[in-house]
Amino acid sequence: MKKILIISDSKIGHNFVQRAIDTFAKDNLYYVIQSNAVEFENAPPSRFKFFEFDPTSLYKLSNVLKMEFVQVFIAMKSPMDIEHTIANIRVSKKQLRIIVIDHWTMDLEEHNVVQINTTEILASHLFDYLPNVPVVAQNVGLGEGEIMDVLVPFGSSFVYRHVGVIEQKNWRIVGIYRAGKLILPDDRKMIHPNDQLLLVGEPSVLNSVYRAIKREIGQFPQPFGTNLYLFIDMTKDDLREVVYLVDKAIKVHENFSNRLIIKVCNPSNIALLENIKSRRSESIIVDIDYQQSYIEDVVLQDVKQFDIGLVMVSSFMFEKDKMREILFDANVPILSLSQRSIEKIKDAVIVLNDNKDLEKISTTIFDFSSQMGYNIELLKNEDEESSEQDEIIEHYQNLSAIFSKNIHVNFHNDNPIRKLTKRENFLQCLPFTENILQGKTTTLFSTDIEELYHRLNQYHQLFIPIKI
């Protein structure tokens, strides 16, 4: 978590703070010092800390500077106040990077101070309106962030994915810069590490895309959320299995550094409830809903309130049509827990078909499997000739090299469901698409592995959303 200090007593500073509030960035923690307190809308207390005092006071400022900041922004109305504030900062932080809003072309002979000259910026923006003058990239469009340039890191979830399988709704990849050259993308172009992607789209959507591109292995359940969540409904779940369900969720939780929220709805068994409450710890929260609430209200509100990145439910609960619809709307990975042991799982299995969604969920599978210690196995029918499946295998093999995790391609000429039911234990990984929302009766004659997920629900199953 990077700490950023903002010192402001001007309108520009206030607008800067508000934009920081409106721009979602979980990795930043903001400390804001104001001479006179200004109220800001929707400032999350977990990311913004506000102080009211005169920053030219060395004693008061030095107390805040006992923390480690990556940089300081200064937006003040008086050049004299700016100079005194910088001098105060340098008493304790000699090398701290300082960004100053400069209306006066100040002569600051300071190391590691960046002056943002407002006069030059306005003149440059005005220059763009002259005819027959090329427009530089940073000033193209509305200037609201609808054009973005993103470097793809080595372990990104976008590495070695084909452009055509990336769902681009309200945004587009319009250019790929590689080795100093521009590549115009088509559906079959593959994204490589250290590629520079030129993106165009709605600013709010691009912010989400940016986080998805920057997401690297070892961060699950990011970018979906932060915490794990187990949902129990005592009026629907088998009470004989609830204790084992809690044990399995805790066993999954042990592989992650995040919190686990155990949500119990409609509590009807006091002894069972006390057993669950006894599992509380610093990282395990038991939240009991004594009201007879609608399940969709409870789950969807909790996913947002607790910043949930993985929802766990019993396979019995996942079978309910309404529950699947609710979980689909949550747009986070769902781990459906069966009655089998979670500790004896060794393999995460993906049954190949021509569905390119298997590329979209690949990084999540690698990330989850790495943290859980599972091998990855691709199951392919050797009698099927499919260029799409060959591309998917190539994609997974490329990722295995990046993440130093071996994968095994298991060729067979049998019904994959019949083959898998002979196994003792495994985790099946599937894209969470609308196909899975269909009822059993409508899939009696289907051959689609997603529509037939229920044929393997005696095993643990991980359903991964395909939307960014």
Q: Are strands 71-75 and 97-102 parallel, antiparallel or unpaired?
A: parallel
Nearest CA to 362 out of 329, 394, 324, 330 is that of 394
Tokens of 343: 């500790």
pLDDT of residue 89: 93
User: Which range has the top average pLDDT, 44-58, 118-132, 151-165, 326-340?
Assistant: 326-340
Q: How far apart are CA 92 and CA 71, in angstroms?
A: 14
Fold of 227-331: Rossmann fold (3.40.50)
| Residues 396, 378 contacting (CB under 8 angstroms) | yes
Q: Could you tell me the pTM of the whole model? A: 0.62
Return mean pLDDT, the chain.
86
For the cut 90, the answer to whether the pLDDT of residue 52 exceeds it is: yes
The whole-number average pLDDT for the span 365-385 is 88
Nearest CA to 174 out of 148, 198, 195, 205 is that of 198
Residues of the chain with CATH 3.40.50.720: 2-125
The whole-number average pLDDT for the span 148-158 is 81
pLDDT of residue 47: 87
pLDDT of residue 54: 92
| Residues 9, 54 contacting (CB under 8 angstroms) | no
| Residues 198, 215 contacting (CB under 8 angstroms) | no
| Residues 302, 263 contacting (CB under 8 angstroms) | yes
Tokens of 80: 């004299």
pLDDT of residue 140: 57
| Residues 438, 408 contacting (CB under 8 angstroms) | no
Lowest mean pLDDT among 1-5, 260-264, 431-435: 1-5
Q: Which helix (H) or strand (E) holds 430?
A: strand 427-432
Q: Are strands 427-432 and 347-351 parallel, antiparallel or unpaired?
A: parallel
The whole-number average pLDDT for the span 59-63 is 91
Lowest mean pLDDT among 172-186, 272-286, 404-418, 440-454: 440-454
Distance of CA 68 to the CA centre of its chain: 26
Compute how many other C-beta atoms are within 10 angstroms of the C-beta atom of residue 145: 16
Listed in order, strand segments (DSSP E) in 346-398 are 347-351, 375-381
**CATH among 3.30.70.1450, 3.40.50.920, 3.40.50.300, 3.30.365.10 for 141-214:** 3.30.70.1450
Residue 299, phi then psi, degrees to nearest 5: -65, -50
pLDDT of residue 39: 84
127 vs 73: which has the higher pLDDT: 73
Domain 2-125 class?
alpha beta
52 vs 202: which has the higher pLDDT: 52
Q: How far apart are CA 288 and CA 428, in angstroms?
A: 30
pLDDT of residue 2: 83
* CA atoms within a 13 Å half-sphere pointing along the CA-CB vector of 427: 26
DSSP secondary structure letters along 433-445: -GGGGS-GGGGTT
Q: How confident is the model at residue 401 (pLDDT cuts 50, 70, 90)?
A: low
25-39 as b/e: b if 16+ CB within 10 A: eeeebbbbbbbeebe
Q: How confident is the model at residue 244 (pLDDT cuts 50, 70, 90)?
A: very high
Residues of the chain with CATH 3.40.50.620: 227-331, 347-465
pLDDT of residue 137: 45
pLDDT of residue 136: 38
pLDDT digits (tens, 9 = 90+) for 170-214: 889 999 999 889 999 998 899 998 898 998 888 767 776 777 787
pLDDT of residue 217: 62
Q: Is 179 left (phi over 0), alpha (psi -120 to 50) or beta?
A: left
Q: CA-based angle 334:339:343, to the nearest 5?
A: 80
Q: How far apart are CA 187 and CA 164, in angstroms?
A: 4
Q: CA-based angle 84:14:137, to the nearest 5?
A: 100
Q: How confident is the model at residue 98 (pLDDT cuts 50, 70, 90)?
A: very high
Q: How far apart are CA 366 and CA 355, in angstroms?
A: 18
Q: Are strands 375-381 and 407-412 parallel, antiparallel or unpaired?
A: parallel
pLDDT of residue 134: 36
Tokens of 194: 């250290």
Nearest CA to 320 out of 351, 299, 345 is that of 299
For the cut 50, the answer to whether the pLDDT of residue 95 exceeds it is: yes
Domain 347-465 class?
alpha beta
Max CA pair span of the chain = 80
Compute how many other C-beta atoms are within 10 angstroms of the C-beta atom of residue 49: 16
For the cut 90, the answer to whether the pLDDT of residue 235 exceeds it is: no
| Residues 376, 369 contacting (CB under 8 angstroms) | yes
Tokens of 94: 């000699």
pLDDT of residue 130: 67
For the cut 80, the answer to whether the pLDDT of residue 305 exceeds it is: yes
The whole-number average pLDDT for the span 214-241 is 85
Q: Are strands 2-8 and 28-34 parallel, antiparallel or unpaired?
A: parallel
The residue type found at 166 is I
For the cut 50, the answer to whether the pLDDT of residue 280 exceeds it is: yes
Residues of the chain with CATH 3.30.70.1450: 141-214
pLDDT of residue 376: 94
For the cut 50, the answer to whether the pLDDT of residue 270 exceeds it is: yes
Q: How far apart are CA 391 and CA 161, in angstroms?
A: 9
